């Protein structure tokens, strides 16, 4: 069993990006990411701070817009449009979830596709579908980067994705398909889920339920990628996979924390650099 080290791989990605960012800076292009946060959700605040830290480390400029929880839809749309029109801003990220009275879909659809570094805009989603994309959603992209770093072959393999969210499950299955994986998607209505997951050479869980995947659901020698970020009964951070139960059966497995998590922000940084190059 080999532990897939997301911290190590993400550090390598960031190093590469820092070198490229420095070159662009020398040619007069400073990469700028605008981050918008509405209200005072604790988890969102942690994420935003991590994104700003990553920008500083790589050499990007980050601008934060921290808006009050009572911000109206029109005010938020006006800000997004202002950032769309600002040629010095390369990437725009509106931290989700937004307060209930705001329409998340309308906001993400308003961000210009070429500045949409989360890859949530329908244009970018459609491009992923046909395999001709500029940006990838950060978490699935991070998973692909980890598989590549460990020379894990996808071509011809049985791949099972648990979860069908627009942010992880659906794009994850498309990316595996583009690499010639044979992909099955399982979700809350799937019957006999263990029988299906047991066929997986590569199993990706993005279901958001603590220790959902147990040893009896995993084939011997499978590659198991855990996208979940949950708390167990003792309030300790854990994934969707019951690590202690499953690890010994696998050939490769990602830990939580330290697996997919660090890759998500590294991929966001990669998208931001790509946005700057496209706009240039």
Strand runs labelled E in 223-279: 223-226, 230-231, 237-238, 252-253
Q: Minimal CA–CA distance to 213: which of 179, 256, 181, 176?
A: 256
CB 141 within 8 A of CB 174: no
Our answer to whether residue 95 is catalytic in this structure is yes
Q: Minimal CA–CA distance to 210: which of 161, 169, 243?
A: 243
d(CA 155, CA 159) in angstroms, rounded, equals 10
d(CA 86, CA 279) in angstroms, rounded, equals 12
| Active-site option among 116, 118, 201, 226 | 118
| Active-site option among 5, 7, 52, 95 | 95
CB 240 within 8 A of CB 211: yes
Q: Residues with catalytic annotation? A: 51, 95, 118
């Amino acid at each position: 069993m080999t532990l897939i080290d997301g911290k190590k791989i993400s550090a390598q990605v960031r190093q590469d990006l820092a070198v490229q960012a420095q070159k662009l800076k020398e040619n007069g292009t400073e990469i700028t990411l605008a981050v918008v946060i509405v209200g005072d959700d604790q988890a969102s605040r942690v994420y935003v701070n991590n994104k700003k830290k990553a920008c500083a480390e790589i050499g990007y400029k980050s601008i934060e817009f921290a808006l009050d929880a009572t911000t109206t839809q029109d005010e938020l749309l006006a800000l997004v449009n202002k950032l769309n029109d600002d040629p010095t801003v390369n990437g725009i990220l509106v931290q989700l979830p937004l307060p209930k009275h705001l329409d998340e879909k309308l906001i993400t659809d308003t961000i210009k596709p070429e500045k949409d570094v989360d890859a949530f805009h329908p244009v970018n989603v459609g491009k992923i579908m046909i395999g001709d994309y500029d940006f990838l959603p950060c978490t699935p992209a991070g998973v692909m980067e980890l598989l590549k770093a460990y020379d894990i072959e996808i071509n011809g393999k049985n791949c099972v994705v648990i979860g069908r969210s627009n942010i992880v499950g659906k794009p994850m299955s498309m990316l595996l398909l583009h690499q010639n994986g044979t992909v099955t998607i399982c979700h809350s209505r799937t019957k006999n889920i263990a029988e299906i997951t047991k066929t997986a050479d590569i199993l990706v869980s993005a279901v958001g339920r603590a220790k959902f995947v147990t040893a009896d659901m995993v084939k011997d020698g499978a590659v198991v990628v855990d996208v979940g970020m949950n708390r167990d009964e003792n309030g300790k951070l854990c994934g969707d996979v019951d690590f202690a139960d499953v690890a010994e059966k696998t050939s490769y497995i990602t830990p939580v924390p330290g697996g997919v998590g660090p890759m998500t922000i590294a991929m966001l940084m990669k998208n931001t650099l790509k946005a700057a190059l496209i706009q240039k």
